[in-house]
Amino acid sequence: MKKLMASVGLLFAVPALAWAQSADRPYRGQGYVFLGFGFGEIPGYSGPNPYINYPSSFQNMRQLGFGGEGFLYKGLGAGAEASHASWGGGYDTAWIGSGDLSYHFHRHAARFGVDPFVLGGVSIVGPTQVGGGRGSFAQNYGGGANLWLAQHAALRLEFRDVIGANFWRFSHVMSFRVGATFR
What tens digit of pLDDT does each residue of 45-65 get? 555 655 655 556 677 889 999
- pLDDT of 103 reads 96
- pLDDT of 154 reads 94
Q: Which domains does the chain have, with CATH numbers?
A: 32-44+52-182 (2.40.160.20)
Rounded to 5 degrees, φ, ψ at 11 are -60, -40
Query: If DSSP codes are grouped into helix, strand and coil, which group holds residue 120?
Result: strand
DSSP 113: -
Whether the CB-CB separation of 180 and 68 falls below 8 Å is answered with: no
In sequence order, the β-bridge partners of residue 114 are 147
- pLDDT of 138 reads 87
One-letter identity of residue 103: Y
CA distance 139 to 66: 18
**Mean pLDDT value across the chain:** 79
Instruction: Out of 5-19, 56-70, 94-108, pick the least confident.
Output: 5-19
**Residue 176 pLDDT greater than 90, yes or no:** yes
Whether the CB-CB separation of 120 and 139 falls below 8 Å is answered with: yes
Q: What is the pLDDT of residues 115-166, one digit of tens each?
A: 999 999 999 888 776 555 667 788 999 999 999 999 889 999 999 998 875 5
What is the pLDDT averaged over residues 22-45?
77
